[in-house]
């Protein structure tokens, strides 16, 4: 039996949405907090099909950590205290990150997983990378892993983030139904990558001046829709300017060879851009003297909706500004005590300039203390000291701005697929 893929999941959710089965009206705020608290965040099976919480009377979800939910096509263990299963994907849990004293980089074993189909296990000794196409001066050129390792090596810290990270908030905060994996904010990770610059490989393959697009193609199973249409291997073109800038062909992650779920033997890392650009398990690179297209830059990963052109907006590239608390939703805090709140903010466009925190739902804002020298395409850790004086529910908010003047708005512009949610996220806590 073929494993469920992303298309099957999204199609089912879309059918439920169109049939009116995805609504769950009448959930009171305190009930919502209680249900979220039961697991830190709700798992996919516990969510209504569009990501809304179940209506009153729905059985309580299990406490986090009581059982592991198997995820089709994922190789590494997924302890429930670290991950939330999301179809063929696994979301990192922010609420337990602080307890483990994780540093700037996310350990490989805790890094989120975004799969379109399933994880292939590839023999690194048999693996080959083929660079081919009309954008080369001569015939196709092959590289093996040993050959790549002999080339000048480069290390960089970079985030990889799913374009749909934060998608569930279109529904839970803005009451806008969107299909797709209902990520909260755990569809991101920052790692230390090591490999060879894509520009170096293209140069050695013999790049023509007329080259305009570079399309990496993955070795994961071909993407077949539920109606039998084979879309081929996951692939998405990059403009030549980006390909020659800061893109890395990575063979190490956090000081060790790549793990299977994270693209072994070699993957692309495209700093600052949506995660679909960072193709995993790369096997072929097509270099073309004409524009290239794939389903992942035409039908998928573009903005559609009332605020975009009828044929859709431009293909997604840079990520937007986001912020997150390293704290459980509905966390219980003692009044009269000073609580040091921890969080992280990031932007695909530029380094983080400032982070502000509100403890009263956005009525007042104060600056957080930045803990890192900020760099584009990674995140900045921050802290904020808060001494609540009265008991009751509170709504925490964090908003960041980057060096190019981008700032998180109170509301994100709707798009049909729920991409690039960058608005401030309400984080409920209870003071007792």
Tell me: the pLDDT tens digits for 257-305? 999 999 999 999 999 999 999 999 999 999 999 999 999 999 999 999 9
State the pLDDT at residue 32. Answer: 29
What is the layout of strands, in order, in the sheet containing 331-333?
331-333, 427-431, 392-402, 352-358, 366-367
Average pLDDT over residues 384-405: 98
How far is C-alpha 126 from the chain's CA centre?
30
Q: Could you report the per-residue pLDDT of 209-250, keeping only the tens digit for each?
A: 999 999 999 999 999 988 899 999 999 999 999 999 999 999
* Dist CA 346 CA 351 (whole Å): 7
State the pLDDT at residue 36. Answer: 29
Which DSSP category does 50 fall into? T
CB 325 within 8 A of CB 357: no
- Residue 239's nearest CA partner among 263, 269, 216 is 216
Res. 86: pLDDT tops 90: yes
Q: Could you report the per-residue pLDDT of 104-126, keeping only the tens digit for each?
A: 999 999 999 999 999 999 999 99
Structure token digits, residue 248: 């890395």
Tallying the residues shown for the chain, one arrives at: 432
Tell me the pLDDT band of 69, cut-offs 50, 70 and 90: low
Give the other-Cβ count within 10 Å of 101's Cβ: 6
CB 142 within 8 A of CB 130: yes
Beta strand 427-431 with 331-333 is: parallel
Work out the mean pLDDT of the chain and round it to a whole number. Answer: 86
- Residue 384's nearest CA partner among 342, 352, 426 is 342
State the pLDDT at residue 273. Answer: 98
CB 343 within 8 A of CB 326: yes
Q: What angle do CA 84, 346, 373 make, to 5 degrees?
A: 125
């Amino acid at each position: 039996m073929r494993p469920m893929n992303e298309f099957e999941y999204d199609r089912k959710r879309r059918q439920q949405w169109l049939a009116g089965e995805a609504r769950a009206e009448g959930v009171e705020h305190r009930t919502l907090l209680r249900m979220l608290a039961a697991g830190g965040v709700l798992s996919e099976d516990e969510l209504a099909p569009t990501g809304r919480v179940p209506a009153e009377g729905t059985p309580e979800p299990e406490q986090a950590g009581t059982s592991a939910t198997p995820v089709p096509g994922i190789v590494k263990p997924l302890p429930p205290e670290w991950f939330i299963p999301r179809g063929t994907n696994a979301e990192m849990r922010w609420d337990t990150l602080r307890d483990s004293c994780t540093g700037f980089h996310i350990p490989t074993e805790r890094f989120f997983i975004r799969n379109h189909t399933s994880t292939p296990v590839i023999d690194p000794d048999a693996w080959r990378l083929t660079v081919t196409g009309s954008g080369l001066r001569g015939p196709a050129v092959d590289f093996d892993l040993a050959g790549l390792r002999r080339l000048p090596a480069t290390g960089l810290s970079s985030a990889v983030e799913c374009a749909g990270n934060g998608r569930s908030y279109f529904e839970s905060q803005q009451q806008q139904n969107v299909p797709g994996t209902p990520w909260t904010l755990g569809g991101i990770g920052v790692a230390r990558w090591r490999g060879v610059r894509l520009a170096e490989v293209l140069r050695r393959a013999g790049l023509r001046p007329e080259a305009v697009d570079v399309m990496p193609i993955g070795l994961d199973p071909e993407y077949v829709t539920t109606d039998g249409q084979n879309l081929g291997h996951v692939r998405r073109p990059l403009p030549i300017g980006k390909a020659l800038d800061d893109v890395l062909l990575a063979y190490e992650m956090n000081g060790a060879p790549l793990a299977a779920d994270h693209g072994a033997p070699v993957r692309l890392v495209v700093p600052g851009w949506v995660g679909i650009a960072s193709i995993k398990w790369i096997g072929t690179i097509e270099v073309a003297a004409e524009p290239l297209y794939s389903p992942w830059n035409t039908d998928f990963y573009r903005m559609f909706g009332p605020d975009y052109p009828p044929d859709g907006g431009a293909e997604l590239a840079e990520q937007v500004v986001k912020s997150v608390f390293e704290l459980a939703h509905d966390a219980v805090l003692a009044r009269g005590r000073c609580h040091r709140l921890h969080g992280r903010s990031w932007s695909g466009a530029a380094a983080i300039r400032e982070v502000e925190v509100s403890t009263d739902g956005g009525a007042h804002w104060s600056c957080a203390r930045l803990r890192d020298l900020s760099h584009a395409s990674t995140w900045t850790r921050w802290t904020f000291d808060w001494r609540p004086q009265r008991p009751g529910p509170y709504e925490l908010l964090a908003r960041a701005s980057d060096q190019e003047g981008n700032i998180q708005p109170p509301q994100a512009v709707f798009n049909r697929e729920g991409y690039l949610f960058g608005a401030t996220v309400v984080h409920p806590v209870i003071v007792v």
